[in-house]
Amino acid sequence: MHSFRWEDLITPEVIDGMLRHFPEASAKERRNLANAATRAIRRLGGAPIIPRPLDEAERRTALTYLLNMAMDIAIGPRLSSRTRPTQFIERPSPIPEFAMVLEKGTPLDINSASEAELIPLKAIGPKLAHRIVQERTANGPFLSTKHLMRRVPSLSAKAATLLAQEVRIDDPAYEPDRILERPIEDGFRTLAHGILKRRAAARALRRAREEPMSAKLQKRAAAFTQSPITLAASDLSRIPPLSTGWFEVATSQRRKEPAKHPADWVGLLRDGAYYKRLPMILDQAKQSLDICMFHIAFPDPKHPTAKILDAVVRAKARGVAVRVLMDQDRKEDPYLSVLINTPARRFLEKHGIECRFDRTDNLLHSKYVVVDGSVVVMGSHNWTAGSYFQYDDISVVIHSATVGKAQSERFATQWAQAEASSD
């Protein structure tokens, strides 16, 4: 094991980066900033004992992660320069098969939106919009939907759920890669604003009139001169111990960016909309139909799943190549998959449709359909009455050749590994 001192990570070069826009900072202010940064990473990092010494790159990664995390928690998302992923907004669907579609866009930032911008949103109205802005102005930004509901008691859970569909409310439980994407000095600069108090922020605004300065930085500095959270960065009691081990983040290989696939459109199927729209989608199949489903309940011909299975049978009758893969549990498992899925398998096989159960050593919990290798229906819906009418389930329909190809390859692998046995 290796022990070290947290203060050794806060070097003069680190402080220089934090004070790049504050060259006139005094020696005392530099010490205050270094002490605050040390306290922040000490609170997050805990005991300074690690399995082995860090090399220079790992030290910088650890420092980036810890201080940017501290900055985000202490000051709040409104003043964070954290990289955000692509945002999507729900819109009424122009496609008859779907109630809603997702469109790329920028949801309204609840931590900067005005009353006028909030009033038109779902379940808000003038009074609630006023209370939200009033609470935010008095006590700083909101960190999550639960945080918003706790601070604005008149906001019901239903209203908060509707609101969350149209606004951005960041949560401090950030992914490590998102935090590490932000340049170290950019993240520290916001923390420096708070530590150096109102006077330093005011100096930054004066400098903006004399030399070029980004609008984003001007906005942050202005916020610090007007907001009661000017000194929030000094209140390090808000920073909890870090649940994700910083040492593992510092010494692990960075994860690759997730693959991005172009899509012609993406539709949403919520709750009963799935049951209503899925047969329409299945009826459009012309070449292939691959179905992978955890549970297909079909205890009798009058069961609601008959409507979907009839669409599968119609596809087979049109000459579509249909394959159905279902879960098969072990005798000691609690899922009852064989009991639930066997009647549906027998019905489909009676109509010439090839079916397989997966291996008993593997829980097949997937729920997806691939139509003609280009349309993928994927989500939380099983083919059960509870999923259609009772549970809170949601699925997406993705029209994309690349997503369809990837999911078809996944199905082919699962199909090959499954037991091609019949009861």
Average pLDDT of the chain, as a whole number: 75
At 112, which amino acid appears?
S
The pLDDT value recorded for residue 204 is 52
Q: How confident is the model at residue 78 (pLDDT cuts 50, 70, 90)?
A: very low
Check residues 328 and 202 and name the one with the higher pLDDT. 328
Q: What is the DSSP letter of 243?
A: S
- The tens digit of pLDDT for each residue in 283-322 reads 999 999 999 999 999 999 999 999 999 999 999 999 999 9
Of the ranges 24-28, 107-111, 198-202, 283-287, the best mean pLDDT one? 283-287
The pLDDT value recorded for residue 307 is 95
- The tens digit of pLDDT for each residue in 90-135 reads 555 555 555 555 555 567 778 778 888 888 887 788 999 999 888 8
Q: What is the DSSP letter of 334?
A: S
At 94, which amino acid appears?
P
- Rounded CA gap, 217 and 190, in Å? 9
Per the CB < 8 A criterion, the answer to whether 385 and 304 are in contact is yes
Check residues 185 and 250 and name the one with the higher pLDDT. 250
Domains of the chain: 2-82+173-251 (no CATH), 109-166 (1.10.150), 265-417 (3.30.870.10)
Q: With a cut of 70, say whether residue 254 has pLDDT above it.
A: no
Q: With a cut of 70, say whether residue 256 has pLDDT above it.
A: no
In sequence order, the 6+-apart residues with CB closer than 8 A to the CB of 218 are: 204, 205, 208
- The tens digit of pLDDT for each residue in 144-173 reads 777 788 888 888 888 887 777 777 765 434
Number of other residues whose CB lies within 10 A of the CB of residue 68? 26
